A and B are shown apart, each in its own frame.
Chain A
Amino acid sequence: MKFGIVVFPGSNCDHDAYHAASVNAGFGAQYLWHKDTLIPDDIDCIILPGGFSYGDYLRCGAVAQFSPLMKEVKKFAENGKFVVGICNGFQILTETGMLPGALLKNENLNFICKDTNLKVISNDSAFTSAYKKGDVINIPIAHGEGNYYADADTLKMLEDENLIVFKYSSHDGIIEKQYNPNGSVNNIAGIISKKGNVLGMMPHPERYSDKQLGCNDGVNIFKSIARSLS
C-alpha cells in the first residue's frame, strides 16, 4: 500500500500527511510534484493535502485544479482508484467537480483552528471501515472557507445514497447547529463520491494520527484505505 501526496505551491500539510501515512499508519508514501505528468504505477491512493495552493487566489482550489498532475488524478479516480482531499484538497476536489458542492466562507467569517468532534455517519466506505458507525472522533479543523454548500437536490442525493461520512457533532454524537463550527449545510464535514473512491473532508485526520500529539483518531482513515485494498 502506497500513498502519493501531491505537493502544490502553497501546500502546507503535505509533510503531515506523509508522516501520518508512513510513520503512523505504517504504509509507503511518496511526494508527487504538481507539475508531474505521471502517477507512478505503485501508487494506490492519492492525497491532496491541506494548505493554500496558489495562495487561495481567485477561490480556494480554483487554480490548483489546472495543475498538470490533476489531469492524471482525475483519470486515476475515473479508474476507480482512491483519492483523498483534505481541507484545501477537498476544495480542489469540489472545484474540479470530482465531488459535488462547494466550500464557502465560514459563517462567522473567522479562520477557525480548533478540535472538532466528528460523528461517523457511514462506515460503509473504503475510507471509514476501520471505524464503527456512530463513533465520535476528535479531529482538528483549520480553515477560513470550510462552510460546505450544496443545493437541495445534491443534498438529497448525498443523504439518500449514503455519501456523507462525517458530520460535526457534540462529543456524545448529537448533531445540532451549535456543534457546527463553520455553517456547513446539515453539519457536513466529509463526503465521498458516488463511486465511493473519492473522499473530501475539511478536518485534518493527518494532524491527529500520532499518539504523541495527544490523539490518533485520524489514523484509521489511512488504515481503512489499506484494508479495502487487501
Chain B
Amino acid sequence: MNKYKANIKITLREGILDVQGKTVEHALHSIGFESMSAVRIGKFVTLYIQAESESTAMNQIENACKQIIANPIIEDYSIEITKAE
C-alpha cells in the first residue's frame, strides 16, 4: 500500500453565474484593479489516501468527488495526486 496526497479544486461549472466571483470582481475594479476580470471562486479540498497505485487512488477519489465532494450538476472538479511520504 502506498500513501498519496490529493489536492481537489472545485469550481462552479462554466456558464453558471458565480455571484461571489462577480462581487469580488466589482470590489477589485473599485480599488483600481480594472484589468482583472472573470473572477471565479471555488473550494479547495486536500486529503490523504492509502491505495495500491496512483490510478486506484485516482479512481476512488473520482468516485468520492462524484458522490459527495462535488455536485456534478453545478460544479467541476480537478484532482492532482502526489505520492506522500
Contacts and interface: CB of A to CB of B under 8 A. Distances in A.
Contacts of A62: 68, 71
B23 interface: yes
B81 interface: no
Contacts, number: 33
A58 B16 contact: no
A68 B12 CA distance: 29
Interface residues of B, number: 12
A102 B19 contact: no
B68 A109 contact: no
Q: What is the predominant secondary structure among interface residues of chain A facing chain B?
A: loop
A33 B29 CA distance: 49
Contact of A102 (B23, B68, B69, B73): B73
B20 A102 contact: no
Contact of B19 (A58, A94, A101, A105): A105
B68 A107 contact: no
Contacts of A105: 19-20
14 contacts: A58-B43, A58-B69, A62-B68, A63-B68, A94-B73, A95-B71, A102-B71, A104-B19, A105-B20, A107-B19, A108-B19, A109-B19, A149-B73, A183-B19
